[in-house]
Amino acid sequence: MRENFLTLTGITVRIGTATILDNISWVLKAGEFWALTGPSGSGKTVLAHTLAGRHYHNGRITYHFGGDNQKHRVAVVDQQHRFKYLSNTGELYYQQRFNASEADQTITVSQELDEFGYDKNNTPHQWIDLLHIRPLLSKPLIQLSNGENKRVQLAIALLGRPDFLILDNPFIGLDAEGRSTMQQILNTLLGLKIPILLITSPREIPSSITHIACLEQGKLVFTGSREQFKPAAPLHRAPDLDLGLLKPDNPFREEPAFRTAVKMTGVSVRYGDQVILGGLDWEVKKGERWSLSGPNGSGKSTLLSLITADNPQAYANDIMLFDRQRGTGETIWDIKQRIGFVSPELHLYFDYSASSREVIASGWFDTIGLFRTLTPAQDEQVSRWIQLLKLENMGSRRLAELSAGQQRMVLLARALIKNPPLLILDEPCQGLDPLQTAEFKYLVDQVCEQFGTTLIFVSHYPEDVPSCVDHFLSLEKKDG
């Protein structure tokens, strides 16, 4: 008989007045490899952090490894990771990723790994090569792609020689090749008998996983073998959204007419010797709906940063936004007020201490935080979007208290709040469950149809692209 590896008995976690985990009892046996799945907001990440000792809980967690229970090592590789300055005096701000002159303000991959036990002068560590990190060692952390960042964080966790490794959605943000590489890495780790709990969606469960658990609304509704698990059927009905809350115009601002939202001619961006974009021509006319695709590192985020006024190299290129040449006297706020924007990077650098309502309201002013008083009309619009996106029970809660999927819904409301003429959605469905994804795609279709909104939509998953999209641009990764 297999010995128990980890036993949970009646685990209950409350954050504020909300019960996040409700009487969880679960036994993991040695030799079993588990995946944990469930809808957004079901408590998966809170459970991971509770196992690592980050949340106060009622009930009992018993680790059957490592001898003394006080010395067990549980490592959690989170969905997101924030980098610090080289001096470690503060966190980076969003625009720094695109400012080449500030890359030397962050430590390199090698320096980061040194802090966790990697010595490049000694025998190479197995994890560095297994995770394909050796070519990254001299690279500044801030310039890593999503896939590179995930592998570095996994290496840091493994260098700590954990007794138990928890991976929270390691596939999020990865292109098809990156997801395939991560699947191979996880299968290799499982083959080495490293105890792992993988938090992931049902569509991305590696072949080596033997058992699956499912959380719903803080309750464990299924535990069993992979063969016994039956994922929820795809949504085939129209999403239940109150579209009457949408307004046919934007009463808060007179919108100057334009014919072309974006026009780029021969646009090039490089950082040192690395070419990110080379000689790009692209025109997005008013009312067009575009899909922007390409592998990690192909320059999608850099391209969008030129449009959203977050990249200083826009001034060195031939770029027109809303029929006006960049660099002819407009401010970054003149540009931002006409764009609704969400991206994984913006999500990462947002103020997690703000309430959800404050985050949504900050979309009126394109700020990371709310520093101005809303007019009654603006406040009413915030309430409408909270109701439309079913966020009523989250408005007063801090962003840090929400799941990643709930945080993303709040940021999507922020992007939509002012009914902008140009909507830029970079991987907007990251962290959303299938129902949320279906409802959001439907909402984007309706917004574009009713308001004539121009759309640029980025996703590594073709099935997440709304049906209104009928123009396509694919970028290729540059060598050198």
Q: Is residue 36 part of a domain?
A: yes
Half-sphere exposure at residue 146, Cβ-oriented, CA atoms within 13 angstroms: 30
The residues of the chain scoring below 50 in pLDDT are 1, 69, 85, 87-96, 101, 251-253
Q: Quick one: 157 and 303 in the same domain?
A: no
Last residue of a domain, one of 228, 252, 283: 228
Contact (CB, 8 A) for 268 and 277: yes
Write the DSSP symbol of residue 334. H
Q: Burial-class residue 121 by CB neighbours within 10 Å (0-12, 13-18, 19+).
A: exposed
Please tell me the predicted confidence (pLDDT) of residue 252. Answer: 44
Q: Is residue 479 part of a domain?
A: no
Q: Is residue 234 part of a domain?
A: no
Number of domains in the chain: 2
Please tell me the predicted confidence (pLDDT) of residue 435. Answer: 84
Q: Quick one: 329 and 361 in the same domain?
A: yes
Last residue of a domain, one of 228, 260, 278: 228
By residue range, what is the domain housing residue 85? 4-228
Q: Quick one: 208 and 285 in the same domain?
A: no
Please tell me the predicted confidence (pLDDT) of residue 90. Answer: 44
Q: Is residue 50 part of a domain?
A: yes
Q: Is residue 105 part of a domain?
A: yes
Listed in sequence order, the residues at least 6 apart from 363 whose beta carbon sits closer than 8 Å to its beta carbon are 340, 413, 414, 415, 416, 417, 418
Q: Quick one: 283 and 160 in the same domain?
A: no
Q: Quick one: 67 and 161 in the same domain?
A: yes
Q: Quick one: 462 and 438 in the same domain?
A: yes
Distance (Å, whole) CA 198 – CA 167: 5
Q: Quick one: 184 and 253 in the same domain?
A: no
pTM for the structure as a whole: 0.87
Please tell me the predicted confidence (pLDDT) of residue 89. Answer: 42
Q: Quick one: 205 and 249 in the same domain?
A: no
Q: Is residue 233 part of a domain?
A: no
Q: Provide the terminal-to-terminal Cα distance of the chain, rounded to the nearest Å.
A: 55
Q: Quick one: 79 and 217 in the same domain?
A: yes
Last residue of a domain, one of 161, 195, 228: 228
Structure token digits, residue 439: 């409802």
The CATH number of the domain holding residue 466 is 3.40.50.300
Contact (CB, 8 A) for 6 and 64: yes
Q: Are strands 74-77 and 164-168 parallel, antiparallel or unpaired?
A: parallel
Q: Quick one: 287 and 141 in the same domain?
A: no
Q: Is residue 355 part of a domain?
A: yes
Q: Is residue 368 part of a domain?
A: yes
Q: Quick one: 215 and 333 in the same domain?
A: no
Structure token digits, residue 135: 């070519």
Write the DSSP symbol of residue 328. S
CA dihedral 144, 146, 151, 154 (to 10 degrees): 110
User: Helix, strand, coil shares of the chain as percentages rounded to 5?
Assistant: 35, 25, 40
Q: Quick one: 446 and 389 in the same domain?
A: yes
